[in-house]
Amino acid sequence: MARIVVVTSGKGGVGKTTTSASFSAGLAMRGHKTVVIDFDVGLRNLDLIMGCERRVVYDFVNVIQGEASLNQALIRDKQLENLFILPASQTRDKDALTKEGVEKVLDELANMGFEYIICDSPAGIETGALMASYFADDAIVVTNPEVSSVRDSDRILGILSAKSRRAEQGEEPIKEYLLLTRYSAKRVADGEMLSLQDIEDILRIKLVGVVPESEAVLQASNQGIPAIHLRDTDVAAAYQDVISRYLGEELPLRFTEYEKPGLFKRLFGGK
């Protein structure tokens, strides 16, 4: 039985697509047959981050409208043979996504043996975001440690609990996981960002990981690879931890404490 996971947020630019790419790649690295779908019709960035933009021939909307088969539109990842990408359309309107069409594609993917279907949602609450969330079993809510991002995430949690298929049919609610991105323990210590405790107190959902602020994310997207592939970086380690926790392992949190540099470090350029 396929598990449908939506990666969502209320605010743009918080790292959803970076997370969708690394989360799906991380599951595939653990041996799970995984597909990641770009629901951001009209903008489409997932294929760039996955490094397959030149291989896009057919897209998600082509499949929904019967202009191509799912096999024609799916792109196999270059590095992981059990990871596939279903890109969004750049030329269609978001209204091209219909509930019936999306359900048909998800059912077909499940019948193809995919264990995890990751839905990379656009920000906010427009059609693409609602479609990405509607059929979800799990939700990764991506939030930055700033007030506007946390407030918008709270709004998304309300939509997940009220407007999903599970809510409509009175089934067990969507499992919600909080992922904190661009977290700087130093800036939290300096009072420039909300603390982990502040955010957990406001949102009150299970924390699945903390991804530190890092230039490695930009480096990964420029190279067209998910950040989880950048060996020996804090970001890759953080996403590996996220996968482990999501799959049920108990791990201590990393990258949340700020260690003040000692006198020697301060004298010789340490921050």
CA dihedral sign, ordered 105, 109, 115, 120: negative
- Tens digits of per-residue pLDDT, 40-51? 988 889 999 999
SS3 content of the chain, % helix, strand, coil (to 5): 45, 15, 40
- Tens digits of per-residue pLDDT, 189-225? 899 999 999 999 999 999 999 999 999 998 998 899 9
The confidence band for 270, taking pLDDT boundaries of 50, 70 and 90, is: low
3-state secondary structure of 176: strand
The confidence band for 93, taking pLDDT boundaries of 50, 70 and 90, is: confident
Angle at 27 between CA 22 and CA 28, to 5 degrees: 95
CA distance 238 to 256: 11
Percent with pLDDT over 90 in the chain: 80
Mean pLDDT, residues 226-251 taken together: 96
Candidate from 1-10, 59-68, 118-127, 256-265 with smallest mean pLDDT: 256-265
Angstrom CA distances, 245 to 80, 180, 181, 213, stand at: 21, 14, 16, 20
DSSP state of 260: P
- Tens digits of per-residue pLDDT, 98-153? 999 999 999 999 999 999 999 999 988 888 899 999 999 999 999 999 999 999 99
The predicted structure's pLDDT at residue 221: 87
